[in-house]
Amino acid sequence: MNGYHPDIKKFAKTNFFKNYKYFILCLLAVLKKRQYTIWE
């Protein structure tokens, strides 16, 4: 935790849920791309 920059820590705290939502969406998109490449 000490390695993180204070601004990043603050940003992560204030926008935690928003960032989490985008993170999940990006993760799903990556997984879908991987599935497509595997199946095709």
Contacts of 9 (CB under 8 A, 6+ apart): 1
Contacts of 14 (CB under 8 A, 6+ apart): none
pLDDT tens digits, one per residue of 1-40: 455 566 767 766 767 767 788 888 888 888 888 776 666 5
Helices (H), 1-40: 6-14, 16-39
Output the pLDDT for position 3.
58
pTM for the whole thing? Answer: 0.43
- Provide the pLDDT for residue 8: 66
16-40 as b/e: b if 16+ CB within 10 A? eeeeeeeeeeeeeeeeeeeeeeeee
